[in-house]
Structure 1
Amino acid sequence: MVDIPKVKTELLLEETKTSGHAPLKFICNDGHLYYCKYLVDFDPNEINCLAYEIVSHYLLKVLNIPTPDIALVQVSEGTLDKSKIIKNRRLRVNHICFGSKGIDPSEEINEFESCRSKRDYNRILNPADVIKIALFDLWINNVDRGRFINPGFNYNLLAVHFGNKRKIVAFDHAFVFGGAQQIGLFNSKMPFENQGKFHQSDFYKSFIRFMDEEELIEIVDNFIPLLKISHNELIDTVIFQLTDIWKLTPNLADRIREYLLCEERIEKVRLVILNSKSIF
């Protein structure tokens, strides 16, 4: 049974400078730092993107892909310092944000990151998860990770440090199901999208060169059956907890369920990632 954690803000540190939701960094009443997102655009339907974040989080957890812990974060009286806010001007006291818990020590995979040698590859503690993230992104149609941002790529990946090793962790799933352009529209009949995805990024291409093809096949073959299992109860439970908080588009849970269970899409996901090794 999914029970989304709830916390309250205690101290605003800063607004991060990003091209998207520009998360606010709050210390909350559980003592932890959260990166908090709310609406920054004028389209109220973009609140759906916060629901996408939470659905994606619990799917990642079920699929055993590393991702930061999350919470629903309520803005407390006296913690909304407007002098520190530029993009999140629509946020008010008692509004509820999506919050992603900070991980320390960690750093974002930057837009120019690559595996230049086998040594770089061997520093990654969880290479199988890099493949699973690529599979996940195609399955859930993440239009953000792997997006080209001249001259690099947007990765939405953290490298969590363990000595001289690094664990790759996936974060920021606001723009899945086709992102803001397909809010209220995406459905299981829409064409499969495999362009501008993580598997086409420089980091992935440099990484996959050092993975044995047999290992890639084994990872894909073990992961794909997990996508065919019904996640209906998880999806319904998450969306049910959000309907009283945010005004979501009609039949969102139904459309997510049908979208993710499309066997034709899952088969295309499998083939795309298996073929991602063939050009190297």
Structure 2
Amino acid sequence: MVDIAKVTTELLLEETKTSGHSPLKFICNDGYLYYCKYLVDFDPNEINCLAYEIVSHYLLKVLNIPTPDIALVKISEGTLDKSKIIKNRRLCVNHICFGSKGIDPSEELTEFETCSSKRDYNRILNQEDVVKIALFDLWINNVDRGRFINPGFNYNLLTVRSGNKRKILAFDHAFVFGGVEQIGVFNSKMPFINQDKFHDSDFYKSFISYMDEEEIIKIVENFIPLLKISHKEVIDAAIYQLPDIWKLTPNLANRIQEYLFCEERIEKVKTVILNSKSIY
């Protein structure tokens, strides 16, 4: 179930300009484009964010939420053009990055986007997944998607066109489990936070206004039992395949498992999303 692909870089295209990891766009030896993240800040513990990305990817797969393919990307000799790099100066040859496989054509959901009409709502091919992403983000404590960036929101959602409709995919899960501030300390006893999450964003509020309450209830009731199943095997397998050089914080797999398997937390996730329709 968990077999992380491994590729090597062949050509650096550019460093993307973001407020986070500023991924490097590499063409790799399998012929595909990858958005590659490494450590950009001075705290070496932030390498844990790459492990978060990989664990989140496989949890999304288990939960049937669309997300781009990933790989561990090794930096090859002669491919690290420092003239194109500003934020990723700490990256060196033979380092291993987290890579998110590019999807062409695709677009990011913009920070100002909303469902301004029933037509906009109906153009979304996988409406059920939008609610599932809101549930997932609360469960995994994603502090990035839905974050307010005056005057819009950070969505970390891709859209892929299919005829006159579009499919939504979730990406960028570096700041889950409470993000950077809770690296090495997050645990199942920490307070449940439901502010500044995807379900609080303008896009979700506008989207949910067009969905029948009965449909929301059905999605939630079908999804919540999946969170109560132990995902230990997936989490352990993902963490086990990560490179020793990352030096992840101790006992990471067990802490993730305990954090996500907390039934009280899951019930709060359920309540928040069930109430989202009545609030908005």
TM tier, shorter chain?
over 0.9
Are 2:110 and 1:110 aligned?
yes
Tell me the CA shift for residue 243 of structure 1: 4.9
User: Distance between the aligned counterparts of 1:9 and 1:202, measured in 2?
Assistant: 38
User: Distance between the aligned counterparts of 1:83 and 1:243, measured in 2?
Assistant: 27
The residue aligned with 2:272 is: 272
Paired amino acid for 1:276: S
User: Distance between the aligned counterparts of 2:242 and 2:159, measured in 1?
Assistant: 30
Classify the secondary structure of the residue corresponding to 2:278. coil
Classify the secondary structure of the residue corresponding to 1:89. coil
Show the 5 A alignment for 1:156-171: 156-171=156-171
Show the 5 A alignment for 1:194-273: 194-273=194-273
The residue aligned with 1:88 is: 88
The residue aligned with 2:17 is: 17
Classify the secondary structure of the residue corresponding to 1:4. coil
Tell me the CA shift for residue 104 of structure 1: 1.1
User: Distance between the aligned counterparts of 2:203 and 2:133, measured in 1?
Assistant: 13
The residue aligned with 1:79 is: 79
- In structure 2, the gaps of 5 or more residues are none
TM-score under structure 2 normalisation?
0.99
Paired amino acid for 1:174: A
Deviations 1:118-153 (A, max 9, x none): 000000000000000000000000000000000000
Overall identity of the aligned pairs, in %: 85
The residue aligned with 1:143 is: 143
Show the 5 A alignment for 1:178-197: 178-197=178-197
User: Distance between the aligned counterparts of 2:15 and 2:94, measured in 1?
Assistant: 18
Which runs of structure 1 show a deviation greater than 2 angstroms over 4 or more consecutive aligned residues?
none
The residue aligned with 2:42 is: 42
User: Distance between the aligned counterparts of 1:183 and 1:195, measured in 2?
Assistant: 19
User: Distance between the aligned counterparts of 1:52 and 1:174, measured in 2?
Assistant: 6
User: Distance between the aligned counterparts of 1:256 and 1:4, measured in 2?
Assistant: 19
User: Distance between the aligned counterparts of 1:114 and 1:2, measured in 2?
Assistant: 35
Paired amino acid for 2:37: K
Paired amino acid for 2:93: V
Classify the secondary structure of the residue corresponding to 2:54. helix
Tell me the CA shift for residue 245 of structure 1: 3.8
User: Distance between the aligned counterparts of 2:164 and 2:18, measured in 1?
Assistant: 28
Are 2:95 and 1:65 aligned?
no
Paired amino acid for 2:22: A
Classify the secondary structure of the residue corresponding to 2:246. coil
Paired amino acid for 2:218: E
Paired amino acid for 1:230: S
User: Distance between the aligned counterparts of 2:243 and 2:175, measured in 1?
Assistant: 19
Tell me the CA shift for residue 163 of structure 1: 1.6
TM-score under structure 1 normalisation?
0.99
When the two chains are superposed, the root-mean-square deviation of aligned CA atoms in Å is 0.6
Classify the secondary structure of the residue corresponding to 1:207. helix
User: Distance between the aligned counterparts of 1:235 and 1:167, measured in 2?
Assistant: 27
Classify the secondary structure of the residue corresponding to 1:169. strand
Paired amino acid for 2:13: L
Paired amino acid for 1:225: P
Show the 5 A alignment for 1:126-137: 126-137=126-137
Deviations 1:92-126 (A, max 9, x none): 00000000000111100010000000000000000
Deviations 1:176-200 (A, max 9, x none): 0000000000000000010100000
Classify the secondary structure of the residue corresponding to 1:277. helix
